[in-house]
């Protein structure tokens, strides 16, 4: 039972969950982001266990790298010395906690003894090549659409984030 795979899974899962819990409980924003990096890396490890080496690599590159850095930029560009009292009370948190727990239990009832007979697969053999073939044959249209989406997101982000010079000029005139 205690195979290497199992031990690896347990360790990675533990790190991921601890990172998530720290995200909730830490007070400083920077610490939260750092805690989350652990989680992301652990998830990449989980992907490896699931014979998805390419996804694991992408996970580390995009999440642990790019998104975390973007978030850090976001944090640095804004002010975080806010000490004002939260507007909403604790009741909502309690309410939400109960809801989340109920949701978790309900879903867990559905999955805890899920037993799908395992079928032989060859996902671990030339994983990246398989994804590449699939992407460029079967999923070519979604793939191309993704590029459009990224372009739109890029332009949208620039438009939103850039200073509105016209407005400022008008404001100065007035």
Partner 1 sequence: MSSVPISAFLALALILFCIGLYGALTKRNTVIVLISIELMLNAVNINLVTFSKYGVAPAITGQVFALFVITVAAAEAAVGLAILIALYRNRKTVNIDEMDQLQG
Partner 2 sequence: MENAWLIPLFPLLSFLVLLLFGRKLKIASAYVGIILVLVSFVYSVIVLFERFTAPTHKAEAVWLSIGELQLTAGFEVNQLNALMLVLVSLVSLLVHIYSKGYMDGDERFPVFYAYLGLFTFSMLGLVMSPNLLQTYIFWELVGVGSFLLIGFYFYKESAKQAAKKAFIMTRIGDVGLFIGMILLFWQTGSFEYDEIFAAVGQGEVSEKWITLTAILIFIGAIGKSGQFPLHTWLPDAMEGPTPVSALIHAATMVAAGVYLVAATFPLFAASETALMTVAVIGAITAIFAASIGLVQTDIKRVLAFSTVSQLGYMMLALGSAGYVAGVFHLMTHAFFKALLFLAAGSVIHAVVTQDIEKMGGLWKKLRFTGPLFLIGTLAISGVPLFSGFFSKDEILMAAWAHGNYGLFWLAVIAAFFTAFYMFRLFFMVFSGESRSKMDNVHESPGVMIGPMIVLGVLAVVAGYVNTPWFGAFLGDWLTEGNPALGHGHVEGPAWIMFVATAVSLLGILLAWLMYSKKSLERDWLSSRAPISYNILVNKYFIDEFYKLSFVYAAKAISLFLKFIEIFLVEGIMKAIGGITQAFANTGSKLQNGQVQTYGTVAFVGLAVLLVIFALTGGYLQ
Note the residues at the interface with partner 2 (CB under 8 A): 87-88, 92, 95-96, 98-100, 102-103, 105-107, 109-110
The CB-of-113 to partner 2 minimum distance in angstroms stands at 14
102 binds, options partner 2, partner 1, none, Cβ within 5 to 8 A by partner type: partner 2
Tokens at residue 169, please? 């000029």
Distance CA 44, CA 71 (A): 19
| DSSP-derived 3-state class of residue 132 | helix
150 binds, options partner 1, partner 2, none, Cβ within 5 to 8 A by partner type: partner 1
| DSSP-derived 3-state class of residue 164 | coil
Q: Which is nearer to partner 2, 105 or 123 (CB)?
A: 105
60 binds, options partner 1, partner 2, none, Cβ within 5 to 8 A by partner type: none
Q: Which is nearer to partner 1, 7 or 173 (CB)?
A: 7
64 binds, options partner 1, partner 2, none, Cβ within 5 to 8 A by partner type: none
Taking every pair of Cα atoms in the chain, the longest distance, rounded to a whole number of angstroms, is 75
Q: Which is nearer to partner 2, 1 or 112 (CB)?
A: 112
Distance CA 36, CA 45 (A): 14
The CB-of-12 to partner 1 minimum distance in angstroms stands at 9
Residues 6+ positions from 32 with CB-CB distance below 8 Å: 22, 23, 26
The CB-of-92 to partner 2 minimum distance in angstroms stands at 6
Q: How far is CA 6 from CA 3, 138, 166, in A?
A: 5, 34, 60
Distance CA 163, CA 172 (A): 14
The CB-of-114 to partner 1 minimum distance in angstroms stands at 5
Distance CA 59, CA 63 (A): 5
Q: Which is nearer to partner 2, 88 or 118 (CB)?
A: 88
The CB-of-110 to partner 2 minimum distance in angstroms stands at 7
């Amino acid at each position: 039972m205690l195979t290497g795979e199992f031990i690896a899974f347990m360790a990675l899962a533990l790190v991921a969950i601890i990172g998530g819990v720290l995200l909730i409980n830490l007070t400083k924003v920077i610490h939260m982001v750092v805690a989350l990096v652990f989680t992301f890396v652990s998830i990449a490890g989980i992907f490896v266990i699931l014979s998805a080496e390419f996804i694991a690599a992408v996970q580390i590159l995009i999440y642990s790298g790019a998104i975390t850095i973007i978030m850090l930029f976001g944090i640095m560009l804004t002010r975080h010395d806010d000490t004002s009292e939260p507007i909403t009370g604790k009741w909502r948190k309690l309410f939400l906690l109960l809801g989340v727990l109920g949701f978790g239990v309900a879903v867990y009832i559905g999955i805890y003894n899920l037993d799908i007979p395992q079928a032989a697969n060859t996902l671990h053999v030339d994983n990246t090549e398989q994804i590449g073939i699939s992407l460029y044959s079967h999923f070519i249209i979604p793939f191309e659409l993704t590029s459009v989406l990224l372009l739109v997101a890029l332009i949208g982000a620039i438009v939103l984030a850039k200073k509105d010079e016209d407005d400022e000029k008008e404001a100065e005139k007035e």
